[in-house]
Structure 1
Amino acid sequence: MDKESYFLQKLIDTGITKGIGDDAVVFSNNPISLHKGRGLCLPNDIASPVYAMDMFWEGVHFKKEWFSAREIAQKAFLINISDILAMNAIPKYALLGVCIPKDATKDFIDDFIFGIKKVCNEFCIKIIGGDTICGREFGISISMIGQIRSKPLFRVGAKIGDLIIHTGRVGGSYAELKKLLSTGARWDKKSRFYEPILRLDFIYAIARFAHLGIDISDGINAELNRLSKINKLFFKLKNPHDKIYQSGEEYEMLFCISPKDYLHTKKIANLYRVSISCIGRVVRGKNSYRTILWH
């Protein structure tokens, strides 16, 4: 079986692809006059593009026995979409690179494509190109293109006195990983380690007054150390020794706001049924929190 051709055809059959068939995809403000009926050309419908790229690789980010093929596809896409959302942008297009295992069956590929289709349909994403190879490990590389909504959220912009807030609960992802590494068995099937929860509408609502934002991929401690270096300020935690702040792959939103906006933020969180926690404050100084090397 030609696994690469089979995968590509099955992917096209899902209806989530667009403009595939040339060496590269072309975006144009006047596509009809540009290609004149020859080749593939997409209308340039992104005024303020934002780009992100993530890899999700067997032996580095996961073991195949931990996930179904569908779950691997879903998580690979969701962690990339998380980067786009954290910038207050909407994901629109993706370039997909896949290393298909040599022992992959048609059922495995079908299940993998089902996971891709599910996420792409949920977020209205079209796959516009990429590459496939066959290899020993299963791996996915995704380049995502999004459209900024109103005001982008950067990692810089904190002010002295700002409150440090994160969405959701953290700590569960690392707890699940430790159990997997020690026993090989799944414990919490609803853990965000398998399927992250993204906060698209909430992020959009708070972006107009949030001073900065970042998704929690390597743990709150690691993210705050990054923010401290960029902003040249101390992101001071109320409970700096809490081990849940070392938990990576949470993909919750971490952001800073002025104290005067806290009650408004709580109202927005209640509106979108998102729990939030205020975990510290921005002061003068710099961070040096203990972190775990996640990958």
Structure 2
Amino acid sequence: MRELDIIGKIQQHLTAYNEKVICGIGDDCAVFSGDNGRPWLITTDTLVEGHHFDLSWHPAYELGCKAMAVNISDIAAMGGLPVHATISLTFTKDTEEAWLDEFIRGLAYMHHRYNINLIGGDTVAGERLSITVTLLGQAHKEPVYRHGAMPGDIIYVGGPLGSAAAGLFLFQNHRDEIETLKDEYASLLRHHLAPMPQVELGRALADSDYIGAMQDISDGLATDLAHIAKKSAVQAVVFEDKIPVLPEFTRLCKRYQLTATELALGGGDDYLLLFTVRAGREKEVERLARSVQAMAYPIGLITEGSGVMLKGPTGNLTDISFRGFEHE
């Protein structure tokens, strides 16, 4: 079964009834009301060896960082700050103490960087290493949801796309050449191994009155933008000639004859913010992004309709809805 079908089945039978639940299944985080008037955010993610990471090339320290980053990115996508975390680890009989020390060091770095409190978790032995992090955060104001996009909004991303997917391509297909390629493609490899969530940008955008909808890009822009389009009952049009990528990404695609647009829009693991900006507020948003040492790239337009369309250089439209990473 497809991931979306499984989630749909769960939603049919398990619905939140408590009046304090503001938003349940269907966004980057669930949202529930807090006693101080500031909403709480909660998210959870599981990384499984052989599906989300490969220990033959993923160092323990960077894996610890990434396990936290993917959850922090969800909190950032709602405009919040991370506060408390629990971590559950399934380890194998082959897990070495030195590896575990480095993994914990990576977790600790992210906890200290973002002032997160570890408040619990679980450990269990199993056949395959897996890491589950549950993260609670708080929104400063009202959280930003996926359902706020409107026709006329400009679609923005918080950085160049496809870097992590390109790094993964190198590890999977040219592992024996990594030592000779690592300097030339260092930024691509780093984006795959240890992405950094855009917490400051998310907070700044949420505190402004400039944006309609927001989420992070984990399964590829084609899929994650489709979530915004569906929740907002609009169509998203992405301009192919506006897709931002790093120069290293372009060189890699030419070197290995990869389809750059497909990799940039469908590769996943970007963990950049994707958001829509009210018409006429573009300059303010771009200045706001620079004020927190981030970037904001306009890549398309929200229109009436449904789905996600890619507009090519000749004006041709191609439906790319949900053409990103699929959990199987």
Give TM-score, length-normalised by structure 1.
0.81
Q: What code does the residue aligned with 2:285 have? A: T
Q: Confirm or deny that 1:252 pairs with 2:272.
A: yes
Which deviates more from structure 2 when the two are superposed, residues 89-98 or residues 285-294? Answer: 285-294
1:184 Cα offset (Å): 2.6
C-alpha separation between the residues in 2 aligned to 1:45 and 1:132?
A: 33
> Residues 151-230 of structure 1: matches in 2 within 5 Å?
151-185=142-176, 186=178, 187=182, 188-190=185-187, 191-207=190-206, 208-209=208-209, 210-230=211-231
Q: Deviations over 1:48-95 (max 9, x none)?
A: 211000001101101101211111111011001100111111111111
Gaps of 5+ in 1: 1-43
1:251 Cα offset (Å): 0.4
Q: Secondary structure at the match of 1:275?
A: coil
Q: What code does the residue aligned with 1:242 have? A: T
Which deviates more from structure 2 when the two are superposed, residues 195-204 or residues 116-125? Answer: 195-204
Q: Secondary structure at the match of 1:203?
A: helix
C-alpha separation between the residues in 2 aligned to 1:62 and 1:136?
A: 15
Q: Give the share of equivalent positions with the same residue, in percent.
A: 26
Aligned residues: 252
C-alpha separation between the residues in 2 aligned to 1:48 and 1:234?
A: 29
C-alpha separation between the residues in 2 aligned to 1:63 and 1:189?
A: 18
Match of 1:36 in 2: none
1:273 Cα offset (Å): 2.4
Q: 2:287 aligns with which of 263, 267, 288?
A: 267
Q: Deviations over 1:7-35 (max 9, x none)?
A: xxxxxxxxxxxxxxxxxxxxxxxxxxxxx
Q: 1:242 aligns with which of 239, 244, 261?
A: 261
Q: Secondary structure at the match of 2:193?
A: coil
1:254 Cα offset (Å): 0.3
Which deviates more from structure 2 when the two are superposed, residues 180-189 or residues 58-67? Answer: 180-189
Runs of 4+ in 1 over 6 A off after TM superposition: none
Match of 2:129 in 1: 138
C-alpha separation between the residues in 2 aligned to 1:64 and 1:131?
A: 21
Verify the 8 A CA contact 2:221 2:324 in the aligned structure 1: no
Match of 1:86 in 2: 77
C-alpha separation between the residues in 2 aligned to 1:138 and 1:184?
A: 22
Match of 1:277 in 2: 297
Verify the 8 A CA contact 2:39 2:142 in the aligned structure 1: no
Superposition RMSD on alpha carbons, in Å?
Answer: 1.9
Q: Confirm or deny that 1:69 pairs with 2:55.
A: no
C-alpha separation between the residues in 2 aligned to 1:65 and 1:139?
A: 15
C-alpha separation between the residues in 1 aligned to 2:41 and 2:126?
A: 31
Which deviates more from structure 2 when the two are superposed, residues 270-279 or residues 143-152? Answer: 270-279
Larger-Rg structure: 1
1:289 Cα offset (Å): 0.8
C-alpha separation between the residues in 2 aligned to 1:47 and 1:161?
A: 30
Which deviates more from structure 2 when the two are superposed, residues 218-227 or residues 283-292? Answer: 283-292
1:197 Cα offset (Å): 2.2
1:294 Cα offset (Å): 4.4
Give TM-score, length-normalised by structure 2.
0.73
Verify the 8 A CA contact 1:248 1:294 in the aligned structure 2: no
Verify the 8 A CA contact 1:94 1:143 in the aligned structure 2: yes
Q: What code does the residue aligned with 1:87 have? A: M
Gaps of 5+ in 2: 1-34, 242-259, 308-318
Q: Secondary structure at the match of 2:191?
A: coil
C-alpha separation between the residues in 2 aligned to 1:108 and 1:247?
A: 28
